[in-house]
Structure 1
C-alpha cells in the first residue's frame, strides 16, 4: 500500500508503529485507495484533541489510575530526555508517593504497554503517545 520509501517513513512517523494506528491506516487505504490521502488523514492525530484522547485511552495508559499517575510523573521528570529503568522507578515512587515495589510494577506495566522507546539501556517516552497525552490533558 505504502510502497515508496518516503511513504513508509511517513507512515511510521504518523503511527509510531502502534498496531491500532497501522490498522487504521490499512482500513483507510481500503476505503480511499489513495496512500497520500491516508497519510494526510493520519497526520491530524497530533492536532485533534478528540482523536488524541481516543488513541491515548486505547493504549491502556489510563486503564488504571496508578499507571496514569506513573506516566505523568515520567513525563514531568524526563520530558524529552532519556532515562534508565531505575531512574524511572525512582521518579514514579517519589512523584506518586508509592512504595518501590509498586513503582516497579507501574513501570513494568507501562513497559508492557510499549510506552517506551529503547536505545540500548536508555529509555524515553514514545513520542507519538507523548504528544497525544499532552494534547489529551
Structure 2
C-alpha cells in the first residue's frame, strides 16, 4: 500500500489480505480482505470483492462488498447494490440502493460524531451473547 503525505488513493487489491490496525491519510479502496481497525481521513471504498471484518472510522464510505463491524462516518455512507453490511453505523447521510443486505442499527445526526465514540453492540450468536 502506498500513502502520500498530502493524502491520495491507497489500495488493498484483490487477493491481498491485511490483519491489524490501519491509519490512512487520504482514501483507500479495499478489493481484498481486511480484518482489524481502520481510521481513514477521507474515503473508504469497498469494491464488490472487498471484505472487511472490523471497525471503520472515516469521512465517507462507499460499500460495494461485505462489511462485518461498525462504521463511524463524519459525513455519509453509501451502500451499493449487492453489498452486505452487518454493522452499527453512525453518519450524517445514508444512501441505500436496491438489493442491499443491511443488518444492524443506524444513527444519523447533523453533527459530526465525536472521534472517541465507540459503538458497542451485543449480538446473540448460538445462544450466547458477545460484545
Larger relative helix fraction: 1
TM-score normalised by the chain length of structure 1: 0.21
For the pair shown, the structure with the greater C-alpha radius of gyration is: 1
TM-score normalised by the chain length of structure 2: 0.21
Higher relative contact order (CA 8 A, sep 6+): 1
